[in-house]
Structure 1
Amino acid sequence: MIEQNNTHFISLQGTFNTRDLGGYQTESGKYVKKNRLFRSDDLYKLTISDIKWFEDHGLTTVIDFRNFNERKNRPDKIIKGVKYYDLSPDDETAALASADLKSDKKKIDKLIEKKKQNKLDLTGDGLKKSMVGFVRDSETQKLYRQVLEIHIKENNDVILQHCRGGKDRTGYGSALVLLALGVSEDDVISDYMLTAKYNADRNKRRMNEYRKYTKDPVVLKYLSNAMSTRKEVIEAGINEMKKISVSPIQYIQNELGFDKDKISYLRSIYLR
């Protein structure tokens, strides 16, 4: 359940998918505090007024899931007093879908070569496989466990998670935090799917940019699939947690090693 009159979207000039995770009700009847937990696309184009918005809202921590090349090509704007963590799961599908205009030609040439080798997955299952990989891969488990640990370092932290488009890498990180706080699976899925709404115009523009470099329908379909936000992707991740540990909260405890005491502490910080 979502708190009445709650608005998650934050309208900034330099981003298109910045949202507040506050306002979701938990199984205990409490609500996630507003203005404490944010998710976003990258912070490369933040304006002076955007930066001031984050400063005024007390942002202390940014978790950046982008890989090295993404960060090099589109470095985050620096916000005064903020600590930055680079924690990249280095997911090829997500990074490929999120590359910037400067690398479009190179990216499309690579996809054309993959097509010749019959290595392009046009079912859209690449994103599902990536999400399941986030759940199962031992190194990625360590990375997302660190995400949870960062959330309990300080009682007064205001934290933003982001990648390039704020979809899958950030979607999974945000889902873990909400699940650990006791938010229902339905609301976690709903939160993930808000990206489809806020990325729609951006995705349309990106597809028009891709068409400057190729008319190949197979390559264009692959790119469209990679940018899409689909319910079954986050569901695949949640279902994989259940396969491994019966429930998402037990997965967080057993596989990520974020135990009951830490979950209780997390909730004491971010719930009201």
Structure 2
Amino acid sequence: MDRDRYVPFTTVFNFRDLGGYPTDEGRRVRSGVLYRSDGLHRLAETDFGRFAALGVRRVVDLRRTDEVANYGRVPDSPGLDYHNVCLQTQAWTAAEVAPGELAGYLTARYAEIADEAVGGAMARVLRLIAEDTAGGTVFHCMAGKDRTGVVAAVVLSLLGVGDDTVADDYAASRFSEQRYLAWRATVAPDAPKYLPSTSDPAPAETMLAFLADLRSRYGSVTGYLDAAGFGPADRALLRTRLLAPN
């Protein structure tokens, strides 16, 4: 994982460009078009200029409505198109999971996210990403790892990015978790634990197992997207939007 993909902000820790990854057709994902992130409600006023300079014009917030109500949303600004699409209605925490069982636990939760999103949320998110907007798009949840990781995996796989690369992109969230937890300890030292005591909160094998399970149950990633209502014409638009020309 190229650490240069990170866009450094003061209190947002997992903002990354999804561009540059190679595909199985010898093409690359466009840079500066699609970003993934953790909670943009924490974006500090001192970082507004850096965020604006990226040219992001659309934010897709994957959090539940109660999370948006409790924590707020990305600060509004002229020309910023904001959408809240709840990707998962049931809250969960991995705090009580033993470190050696974390990958299996997360794989099961990601399968639940994918299955629930078949009901319409996944197609809506992907259409927002595929639309030919004037600027870039960023999608995010709270940590930028779980719900965001599922969407990133589906998008990159659809574009033809290999599973190992998709898993490496997912696993890079470990670096942001370390930064976030250090910051959280200073501002909320008594906050409850939400992850087990493990040095790797985003094991790559989690994403490999998730993609294998998705294919096993839906036949392929495109089979999953067909079930989700994101058909061939939608997928062609997304590929046009996100793949650099040969």
TM-score, normalising length: structure 2: 0.83
* Bigger CA radius of gyration: 1
Candidates 156, 164, 171, aligned match of 2:149: 171
Is the contact made by 1:15 and 1:45 (CA closer than 8 Å) also made in structure 2?
yes
Length, aligned pairs only:
238
Is the contact made by 1:207 and 1:224 (CA closer than 8 Å) also made in structure 2?
no
Partner of 1:106: none
Matched, 1:74 2:71: yes
Distance between the aligned counterparts of 1:52 and 1:162, measured in 2? 19
Candidates 22, 27, 46, aligned match of 1:25: 22
Distance between the aligned counterparts of 1:206 and 1:11, measured in 2? 17
Alignment of 1:46-195 (within 5 A): 46-76=43-73, 77-88=75-86, 89-93=88-92, 96=93, 121-122=97-98, 123-124=101-102, 125-137=104-116, 139-195=117-173
Quote the offset at 1:121 in angstroms: 4.7
Is the contact made by 2:114 and 2:150 (CA closer than 8 Å) also made in structure 1?
no
Candidates 241, 246, 249, aligned match of 2:214: 241
Quickly say closer, same or farther: Cα 1:136–1:152, change in 2 above 3 A.
same
Is the contact made by 2:167 and 2:205 (CA closer than 8 Å) also made in structure 1?
no
Matched, 1:231 2:230: no
Distance between the aligned counterparts of 1:206 and 1:55, measured in 2? 25
Matched, 1:257 2:229: yes
Is the contact made by 1:31 and 1:271 (CA closer than 8 Å) also made in structure 2?
yes
Q: Which runs of 4+ in 1 moved over 6 A?
A: 207-211
Quote the offset at 1:79 in angstroms: 3.2
CA deviations over 1:21-65 (Å, ceiling 9, x no partner): 011011111111111101111112323342222322221111111
Quote the offset at 1:234 in angstroms: 1.9
Matched, 1:14 2:24: no
Distance between the aligned counterparts of 2:159 and 2:6, measured in 1? 20
Distance between the aligned counterparts of 2:29 and 2:232, measured in 1? 18
SS in 2 for 1:127: helix
Is the contact made by 1:9 and 1:19 (CA closer than 8 Å) also made in structure 2?
yes
Distance between the aligned counterparts of 1:247 and 1:268, measured in 2? 21
Quickly say closer, same or farther: Cα 1:127–1:207, change in 2 above 3 A.
farther
CA deviations over 1:205-253 (Å, ceiling 9, x no partner): 5578887478xxxxx696447x92122332232112111233223322x
Distance between the aligned counterparts of 1:53 and 1:210, measured in 2? 26
Is the contact made by 1:91 and 1:130 (CA closer than 8 Å) also made in structure 2?
no
CA deviations over 1:113-137 (Å, ceiling 9, x no partner): xxxxxxx554334422210112223
Quote the offset at 1:187 in angstroms: 1.1
SS in 1 for 2:110: helix
Matched, 1:45 2:18: no
Unaligned segments of structure 1, at least 5 residues: 98-110, 112-119, 215-219
Distance between the aligned counterparts of 2:197 and 2:89, measured in 1? 20
Q: Say what the alpha-carbon RMSD is for the aligned residues.
A: 2.8
Q: Matched residues, percent identical?
A: 25
Distance between the aligned counterparts of 2:160 and 2:145, measured in 1? 21
Kindly provide the amino acid, as one letter, of the partner of residue 114 in structure 2. V
* Greater share of residues in helix: 1
SS in 2 for 1:199: helix
Kindly provide the amino acid, as one letter, of the partner of residue 75 in structure 1. G
Partner of 1:101: none
